[in-house]
Amino acid sequence: MKRRKVTAALLALGLTGVAAACGGSDGGGDADAAAQAKGEITVWLSNNAEEVAWGKQMVAAWNAAHPEEKVTAQEIPTGKSSEEVIGAAITAGNAPCLIFNTSPASVSQFQKQGGLVALDGFDGGKEYVESRTGKVAEQYRSTDGKYYQLPWKDNPVMIFYNKKAFAKAGIDTTKPPLATYDEFLATSRKLVAAKAAKFAIYPAPSNEFYQSWFDFYPLFAAESGGKQLVADGKAQFASDEGKKVAGFWRTMYADKLASQEKYTGDSFVDGTAAMAIVGPWAVATYKGKVEWGAVPVPTSAGKPANETYTFSDAKNVAMYSACKNRGTAWEVLKFATSKEQDGKLLEATGQMPLRDAVATAYPEYFQKNPDYQQFADQAARTVEVPNVPNSITIWQTFRDAYSKSVIFGQEDPGAALDGAVQKVDQLAKQS
C-alpha cells in the first residue's frame, strides 16, 4: 500500500516535472578571431513564401560570386513563434550566423542572453547601419549605444477596407470617411447596420503580447505624432493620447463593431470584417479575393496622411554569436541589404525596405505598382517598438491591462492604463 502511494506520487511528480524543466549550457569562443574569419555560413529566412524566394536568389547570387564562402539558407525551424525558436537556438549554441526575421521586440532579450553580435564591432559597421537606414536607425539602437540589428524591412500598418462592402453600405469607396474617430465609428456603424459585414474591423482580441501592435499601437503612434510606448525609461501610453486611443477601441468593442472572439482564418478575406489593420505584406494574400483600398490609421481630430505616423511592423537582420565566420557573415549582411537586393526584396514581397526615401529609390517599381506608393510614403513615418530591457514583458503587461479594460470592459480603460504604468516603468529600468 505504502509502495503504491509512493509510486503514484512519483508518477505525478515525474509527469508534472517534465513541464517544469528546461536547461542551459556554457561554452566559449574567440569573438575577435571570429570577426575576421571567412568561410561557410548558414542563414535563416522567415517562412513567408515570397521572402523564401527572395532569400534563395540572394544566396544563389552570393554563392556564384563567392564559392569559397558558401552560404546555406533555410527556413526558420517551426515553433510556436520564431522568437522562441531563436531563443532556444541561442541557448543551445546552434543559431545560424544571420537571421532575416529578427523581431526588434526580442533584441533586448537576445542581447541579454549574449546571443547577438554588435555590428559596430565591424569596420564601418555603425556607419553602414546609419547610412542605409537614415535617422530611423536611432530607434533600433540598444541601450548600450550599439546596434545589434540592421533595420531591414517594414510593413507600415494602415487601414485596409473592402470596397464592395463599403459600396453595399453606401459609403464612398475612393475617399471613405475614416480619418477621425467619429468618422471611423460612424462608418463602422453604417457597415454593420447595412450588413455589409458582421464586424467593421477585426483586430485579434487574443492576449499574446504582440497583438497590441495591430490595434492600440498604430493609433497611438498616429495620435501622439510618433511616440513610442516607452521613452526615456517611462511609459507613454497613459497619456491623454493613449487614453483617447483606448477609448476609441473600447467604443468599437462595446458597440460590437469589433469582435471579442478569436477568429480562425482571415476575417477580411472571408468578408466577416469590412476592414483590416495590417501592413502591405497582406496585399499578396488579398489578390483576387478582396477589392481593397487603404488609408492611414485614424486620429481623434484627423490628420493629413503626410503627418500620420503608424507602427512599422519591421523585421530586421541580426548576427548571432554562435557564428564562427563573422567576417563572411558581415559581408553577406551588407550584400543582402544592398540597394540592389533591397529592390529585389521589394519586388518579390511588396514589403518596404527600411531605408530613407524608398519611393524615390525605386521609382520604376512604384510606377508599375501604384497601389504600393502609399505604403512607401507611410514608411517614412513609422514608430518601432521601444528597444528597452524586458521589452516582451512590458508588452504583455500592457496587453493584459488593455485586454481587461478595452476588449472585455471589466475596468475603466484609463484606470487600467494608469495601473500598468508603474510596472512598465520598473521593467524598463531593469538591466
Partner 1 sequence: MSKRTGVLGKVLGKQPIGSLFVTPYVVFLAAVFAYPLGFAVYMSFHDYFFTAPGAIVERPFVGFENYATMLSDPAVRRSFVNVGIFLLINVPLTVVLSLLLAYALNGAVRWRGFFRVSYYVPYVTASVAVVGVWLFLFNSNGLVNSVLGPLAPDPSWLVNSNLAMPTVAIYVTWKQLGFFILLYLAALQNVSKDLYEAASMDGAGRIKSFWNVTVPGVRPATTLVVLLATVTGANLFTEPYLLTGGGGPDGASASPVLIMYQRGIEQGNPDIGAAIGVLLVVGVLILALVERRFVGREN
What does the binding site for partner 1 look like in residue numbers (CB under 8 A)?
4-5, 8-9, 11-29, 80-81, 83-84, 87, 90-93, 95, 109, 112-115, 198, 204-209, 259-262, 264, 321-322, 390, 392-393, 396, 400, 403-404, 407-408, 410
Q: Which is nearer to partner 1, 57 or 206 (CB)?
A: 206
- Closest by CA position to 424, among listed 396, 402, 403, 405: 396
Q: In what order do the strands lie in the sheet with 158-162?
A: 199-201, 273-278, 158-162, 292-295
Q: Residue for cell digits 526588434?
A: 104
Whose Cβ is closer to partner 1: residue 269's or residue 361's? Answer: 269
83 vs 342 by CB, closer to partner 1:
83
Provide CB contacts within 8 A for 304, sequence distance 6+: none
**Residue 138 · residue 129 · CB < 8 Å:** no
CB of 266 vs partner 1, minimal distance in Å = 14
The whole-angstrom separation of Cα 139 and Cα 125 is 17
The residue assigned the cell 492611414 is 296
Shortest Å, Cβ 210 to partner 1: 10
Give the three cell numbers for residue 145. 549605444
Residue closer to partner 1 by CB (options 5, 135) is 5
Phi and psi, residue 141, nearest 5°: -75, 135
Which own/partner contact pairs does 186-192 have at CB distance under 8 Å and 24+ positions apart? Answer: 188/252, 188/255, 188/257, 188/275, 189/255, 189/257, 191/165, 191/166, 191/274, 191/275, 192/256, 192/257
The distance of closest approach from Cβ of residue 350 to partner 1 in the complex, given in angstroms and rounded to an integer, is 28
What are the residue ranges of helices labelled H in 350-390? 358-361, 363-368, 373-379
Please identify, using beta-carbon distances, which residue of 18 and 65 lies nearer to partner 1: 18
C-beta of 354 vs 428, nearer to partner 1 = 428
The closest of 349, 359, 362 to 381, measured between CA atoms, is: 359
CB of 13 to partner 1, least distance (A): 5
Nearer to partner 1, 93 or 177 (CB): 93
**Least distance in Å: CB of 392 to partner 1?**
5
**Extended strands (E) in 267-347:** 273-278, 292-295, 310-311, 315-319
Q: At closest approach, how far in Å is the CB of 148 from partner 1?
A: 13
Is residue 272 a contact partner of residue 199, using CB atoms and an 8 Å limit?
A: yes
Torsion angles phi and psi, residue 41, rounded to 5? -140, 165
Nearer of residues 174 and 264 to partner 1, judged by Cβ: 264
Q: How far is the CB of 299 from partner 1 (least distance, A)?
A: 28
> What is the distance between the alpha carbons of residues 245 and 234, in angstroms, rounded to a whole number?
19
**CB 283 within 8 Å of CB 14:** no
**Between 8 and 301, CB nearer to partner 1:** 8
C-beta of 159: minimal distance to partner 1 in Å?
22
Phi-psi region of 215 (alpha: psi -120 to 50; beta: other; left: phi over 0): alpha
**Nearest Cα residue to 26 out of 93, 101, 78:** 93
- From the CB of 427, what's the least distance to partner 1, in Å? 10
